[in-house]
Amino acid sequence: MDYTVSSKQPAQLKVDCLVVTLNKGAETLPAALPEETRALISDCVKDGDFKGSKHQTLLLQRPAGLAARRLLLVGTGSDAPLNVVAFLQLAASVAKGVASTGAKSAAWWLGNIEVKEQDGAGVLREAARAVADAGYRYDIYRGDAAPAPALKRFTFLSELPAAQAKKAVAAGTAIAAGMALAKDLGNCPPNVCHPDYLVEQAKALAAAYPALKLKTLSEKQAEKLGMGAFCSVARGSERDGQIMIFEYQGGKGDPVALVGKGITFDTGGISLKPGASMDEMKYDMCGAASVFGTVKAVCELGLPINLVAVVVAAENMPDGRASRPGDIVRTLSGQTVEILNTDAEGRLVLCDALTYVQQKYEPSAVVDIATLTGACVIALGAHAQAVYANDAELAQALLVAGDECGDRGWPMPLWDDYQEQLDSPFADMANIGGPKAGSITAACFLSRFTKEVSWAHLDIAGTAWVSGGKQKGATGRPVPMLTRYLMNLAGQ
């Protein structure tokens, strides 16, 4: 898809479909539209064909006064400025409405849209991101896949200076490209997407961008380094675990580090999960997928920062070499862990990766991303990812970034009061803290490996994918939050 910007008036643009959004009631019509076009819309409103209700669409052929062949009206359902989330949903409806036509070219006039706490560049960036993201499809394994939409070019009409508008659209589409990569990896079936496959994808990503370098660690290498927690999870599978380290150099100073959990399939190990919905445990690598996607977005944007991104990948399987409840393992940090539940494996692979990235790179900040706990889904549902941090400034930076792009997080407590739930009579700690506050105690576990660095943990178990039915699939979150956070660091 070709995404462009134009400063032309809506009546002048020769496209197959022009999109205009109207507020609830559709009483105030944009002065930028010709008089005959406004009269046409007024008649549709008077006749009850269009009311401006939320996501309502009306397609008009050969509209009077326009050079466009079609006019698509889309309702905002509001008579007040939209928040970012509502605007993203509106943009998705715009994209869906255009895709349902036979239009090969389309344009969306943004001149009458207000979004809370967003300037013109922000509106344009998020519009481009949402429209591009709405076109995502994953149907490579379907024999009855629907034909691709006819649309080839999408233009955003904006009064911003050309260079600023072009930069905003490029940023939005770069983030959407990162989300698409994260979705592709998350949706990929687990018999295809295993640790070695992720290494192949990492090599392909590094080959695509000169500023990106890749290092890998095999399971054997990790064992020699002393990553006993990671290896305790990986050894239960016939497929070796793998660790990938991306190095992106675009600026000066210590790097920011991202660490993603990549359990490519999670049976629970010896602590076997129930069979219902176990197919969705292919999504237990969505933290890793979001790291891939964020790295791609950063490379596309060419951000002037230094970044190191670690993907720690393994399958959690219950064979004869798998860890047992009661086993004790020694982590790379030297601390020991009593494994009380082998289904609390994500924190085991992460803790060694967190130690590794601190030892090798001395980052200015570390953010880990993981589909870590079902408790987080119970606490926050699918709307916000949990944000834990030992640094209030880092937590706030992530929360602000999420608010700016509609990929929201929510602050969670990381009080010492919870730490005692991880006490073990035989090791330095247990890998679970009992049935209470499960997401918090998981974060407390990770905090024991990040005491000397500014660190945040994103539990994305509720936001990384949509469960069940025809809508099931990876969401690409939190690529927007992470990319926006890094853009803010870079002053963009």
Task: Answer whether 416's CB lies under 8 Å from 96's CB.
Answer: no
- Could you give phi then psi for residue 434, rounded to 5 degrees? 90, 180
Task: Give me the amino acid identity at 491.
Answer: G
Residues with active-site annotation: 273, 347
How far is the C-alpha of 338 from the C-alpha of 426, rounded, in Å? Answer: 7
Burial call 294-308: b when 16+ CB within 10 Å, e when fewer: bbbbbbbbebebbbb
Backbone phi and psi for residue 178, each to the nearest 5 degrees, phi listed first:
-65, -40
Strand runs labelled E in 126-220: 153-157, 212-218
352 residue type, one letter: D
In three-state form (DSSP H/G/I as H, E/B as E, the rest C), the secondary structure along 378-402 is HHHCCCCEEEEECCHHHHHHHHHHH
Provide the strand spans (E) within 125-275.
153-157, 212-218, 242-249, 256-266
Q: Is 472 exposed, middle or buried (0-12, 13-18, 19+ CB in 10 A)?
A: middle
As a whole number of angstroms, the distance between CA 214 and CA 123 comes to 35
Q: Over 417-429, what HEC string results?
A: HHHHHHCCCCCCE
Contact 87, 123 (CB under 8 A): yes
Over its C-alpha atoms, the chain yields an Rg (Å, rounded) of: 24
Q: Is the dihedral of CA 360, 364, 366, 367 positive or negative?
A: negative
Distance (Å, whole) CA 427 – CA 330: 9
d(CA 345, CA 27): 57
Cα dihedral 334, 340, 343, 348, rounded to 10, equals: -10
The Cα–Cα gap between 45 and 138 comes to 38
Upper half-sphere CA count for residue 394 (Cβ side, 13 Å): 19
